[in-house]
Amino acid sequence: MVADLGYGDAGKGTVVDWLCAQGIDGKPVTAVVRYNGGGQAAHTVVLPDGRRHAFAQFGAGSFRPGVRTHLSRFMVVDPLALATEADHLAAAGVADPFGRLTIDRAALLATPYHRAANRAREIARGADRHGSCGKGVGEAMAYHLAHPDDAPRVADCRDPAVLGDKLALLRDRLTAELGPLPAPPVDAAIDAYRGFAAVVSIVDGSHLHDLLAAGPVVFEGAQGVLLDEWHGFHPYTTWSTTTFANADTLLAEAGHTADRLGVLRTVTTRHGPGPLVTEDTALPLTDPHNPTNPWQGRFRFGHFDAVAHRYALDVAGGVDGIALTHLDAVSPALRMCVAYDWTGRLEPGPHGDLDRQEALTRRLTKTTPVYTDIRPDDWVAAVADALRTPVVLTSHGPTATDKRLTPTRPAPALA
């Protein structure tokens, strides 16, 4: 299981690609299972020959022959975006992307109506934007919570009558609340989803048992634990459980367990508004894969925040090891925050107590970091010591060939 222990963008995609290239316990990886989020992910994988793809819904191991993708019931699936992504993968040399994809029939659909409503709400917030990706994922989750029986699901793509009723009701409810929305007619959406259902394999929950029986599987998370819908710094969070909880549920149902790999980069970053205690605009860093965009805003850089990442580890229930990325970006200018001016550790609160999380957010915006200097060649040991967790994999560049297992690592399953 792979999860980001920050605000996202730490390099989950390149780590998943490495796992799929390397194999697990000497066996080839057979599938990547996506266990949260939706089309707002952007897990960039770069191959040594220069090919590149930002994986949104397909698993980040898709460049590796034979590695399939399964979108679990915890995903919010956007069929129109999937079609665009499949086209890009095919152009990049991935044969028959849809033929290597299975989708749980119970997964929610993100539709053009959700996307339009998402953007309308974010625009209405003005200067108080939450930093949405503008993809409609949160809107789909909110609609499901309010109207669980009426929320469109992947299985409905096989039944145009049911899907049409759900889409019309969704459109009418959102229009009554927000006014006219720039989205296609229901008939056009139905035609697109019928075409989608004809080319993908829609399965039930038992399919995951077959995948796990066939060989090693990588569970790929999206976004980061510090954005978790219940334990993140509300309201600057995602409508998704970004811890290992969904993957744990899927594995328990299938009678399996898995190692936990947390991903961190040597700088703590954030795309869009919200707390970033260690932000330093003087850091000479850029990220070509994360430009400023009209929905999330600018990509922000801060020094490594060990306090925030300790909190993520506690919220996630710990990991077996850390994959530390962007070691090629370390310099004497980069420091580590080892404490805040008021604490050295953030304690997780009760599940679902968003008032507490919002109060924590307000305090974090007024927090001063306490730093220590790290020599460029000491980062691996410093991170392992600060987080009391072994660093088992390091990344010194964008490709799988830039990854290294740490020489002091014990011999668990990640090999």
User: Which residues fall within 8 angstroms of residue 193, CB to CB, at 6 or more apart?
Assistant: 79, 109, 156, 157, 163
Q: Tokens in use for 93?
A: 């040399």
Q: Tokens in use for 174?
A: 């959102």
Amino acid at residue number 340: Y
What length is written for the chain? 415
Instruction: Find residue 293's DSSP bridge partners.
Output: 297
Amino acid at residue number 317: G
Note down pLDDT in tens along the chain; length 415 residues: 999 999 999 999 999 999 999 999 999 999 999 999 998 889 999 999 999 999 999 999 999 999 999 999 999 999 999 999 999 999 999 999 999 999 999 999 999 999 999 888 887 777 665 555 668 898 999 999 999 999 999 999 999 999 999 999 999 999 999 999 888 899 999 999 999 999 999 999 999 999 999 989 999 999 999 999 999 999 999 989 999 999 999 999 999 999 999 999 999 999 888 999 999 999 988 777 766 666 556 789 999 999 999 999 999 999 999 999 999 999 999 999 999 999 999 999 999 899 999 999 999 999 999 999 999 999 999 999 999 999 999 999 999 999 999 975 443 344 3
Q: Tokens in use for 338?
A: 């080892």
Annotated active-site residue in 4, 17, 43, 114: 43
Amino acid at residue number 218: V
Whole-model pTM: value is 0.92
351 is catalytic: no
Other C-beta atoms lying within 10 Å of the C-beta of residue 257: 10
Burial of 124 (0-12, 13-18, 19+ CB in 10 A): exposed
Residue in 6, 395, 2 with CA at minimum distance from that of residue 232: 6
Question: Is the previous residue joined to 235 through a cis bond, with omega within 30 degrees of 0?
Answer: yes
φ/ψ region of 347 (left if φ > 0, alpha if ψ in -120 to 50, else beta) reads beta
Other C-beta atoms lying within 10 Å of the C-beta of residue 99: 11
259 is catalytic: no
Say if CB 136 and CB 111 are below 8 A apart: yes
Sheet architecture: strand order including 391-395: 201-203, 101-104, 68-71, 31-34, 217-220, 2-4, 261-265, 321-325, 391-395, 403-405
pLDDT at residue 408 in the model: 55
Three-state DSSP string of the chain: CEEECCCCCCCHHHHHHHHHHHCECCECCCEEEECCCCCCCCEEEECCCCCEEEECCCCCCCCCCCCEEEECCCCEECHHHHHHHHHHHHHCCCCCCHHHEEEECCCEECCHHHHHHHHHHHHHCHHHCCCCCCCCHHHHHHHHHHCCCCCCEHHHHHCHHHHHHHHHHHHHHHHHHHCCCCCCCHHHHHHHHHHHHHHCEEECCCHHHHHHHHCCEEEECCCCHHHCCCCCCCCCCCCCCCCCHHHHHHHHHHCCCCCCEEEEECCEEEECCCCCCCECCCCCCCCCCCCCECCCECEEEECEEHHHHHHHHHHHCCCCEEEEECHHHCCCCCEEEEEECCCCCCCCCCCCCHHHHHHHHHHHCCCCEEEEECCHHHHHHHHHHHHCCCEEEEECCCCHHHEEECCCCCCCCCC
pLDDT at residue 125 in the model: 74
Q: Tokens in use for 402?
A: 């830039």
Domains of the chain, earliest start first: 2-73+205-405 (3.90.170.10), 108-203 (1.10.300.10)
**Distance separating alpha carbons of residues 402 and 282, to the nearest angstrom:** 27
